[in-house]
Amino acid sequence: MAKKAAKPAAEKSDGTPKTITQIEAVRQISKLHPKAKPRELSPLIKEKFGIDLSPQRISMYRVHLKKRAGKPVGKRGPKLGSGKKSGGSDMTISQYVAVQKMLNDLGGEAKVQKMLDQFAAAKKLFANA
């Protein structure tokens, strides 16, 4: 189990010990060893900072640091049909499917376009009144 309190890592300019957090220890070691796996980093963190961290905790901190940096976390892309945005559109896949269903229910794209044109004309009339 990981220790709650941070261990002294160095001294401040006034001679008092400087403490380091667990996530900061993971950040510093990950900079030195970016390709290393969490199992390899655990003993390095214990040796350098005196903090005992499990590989699972190190992995969790690395994901957190990547998210904060705005980097992609996983190797997989979005799943199809998961509601993620597709291509350059602002619509999600589920929204696109709902619009397509509505168009079919109303009689097709041409009929809906005609309705929209009539609605725009009526809106102008009421705006001027």
- Residues 6+ positions from 78 with CB-CB distance below 8 Å: 84
In this prediction, residue 62 carries a pLDDT of: 92
- pTM check: above 0.75: no
pLDDT value of residue 128: 75
* pLDDT per position as a tens digit, 22-35: 999 999 999 999 89
Q: What is the CA radius of gyration of the chain?
A: 28
| Residues 95, 78: Cα–Cα separation, whole Å | 16
Burial call 41-62: b when 16+ CB within 10 Å, e when fewer: bbebbeeebebebeeebbbebb
* pLDDT per residue as tens digits for the range 48-95: 999 999 999 999 999 999 888 887 777 665 555 555 544 566 888 888
pLDDT, mean over the chain: 80
Q: What is the pLDDT of residue 80?
A: 55
Cβ 6 vs Cβ 20: under 8 Å: yes
pLDDT at 90: 80
